[in-house]
Amino acid sequence: MGLFLIFAMPPRVASAHPHVFIDNRVKSIFHDGRLTGFSVEWKLDELFSTGVLPHKPADGRLSAADVARIRHDAFDNLRHYGYFIHVWQGARPDEVSDVSAFSAELEGGRLLYRFVAKLAVPLDVRRGPVIADFYDETYFVDVEFPDGDPSGFALDGAPAGCSATLREDHAHMIPGWGFDPPGALIACT
């Protein structure tokens, strides 16, 4: 019977999450006092970078064709995931509707993505605090501000009296993973 129990043990759930690590740096973009989006910089881990780009160019420079392929193979699909950007004003969620100015380069064997994410609805931060969290809800990817660097989120162009605090968002735990995602709380006095 004991032997049978050993044979019939339930399969172990493969829990190798996360698989990809992103060092995240974000700068806010404001127009006329409204938050319209973010300028984002992602430094991807070396393994993932190698997977995307198995044959790194000798001089470390990516051609336009390389960048186009990287965008197609390892970026565009993230639209289904909101580019890992989750925004709320109060209880009302906003979303990234468009991405522009995508670029990719190599930095010490790691891919560096830069892009501008535009919000579907510009938010007037003076009307109430805005939460901007950065996470993959499937937790395949770990999005982190490098070493908890508080300068990882820069509030740029915001109206006077507004500030941003980088913290773990206890209100929006990553569903199913028990993680408080890192994010910024933008509030004005």
Which residues form the interface with another protein (CB under 8 A)?
3-4, 6-21, 45-48, 50-52, 54, 73-75, 77-78, 80-81, 84, 136-142, 173-180
**Closest by Cα among 130, 139, 133, 148 to 35:** 130
Helix (H, G, I), strand (E, B) or coil at 61: coil
d(CA 34, CA 42): 24
In the complex, least distance from residue 61 CB atom to another protein, rounded to whole angstroms? 20
What tokens appear for 30 in the block?
């404001």
Is residue 160 within a helix (H) or strand (E), and if so which, with residue range? Answer: none
**Closest by Cα among 26, 48, 56, 41 to 101:** 41
In the complex, least distance from residue 70 CB atom to another protein, rounded to whole angstroms? 10
In the complex, least distance from residue 14 CB atom to another protein, rounded to whole angstroms? 5
**Nearer Cβ to another protein, position 154 or 174?**
174
In the complex, least distance from residue 33 CB atom to another protein, rounded to whole angstroms? 33
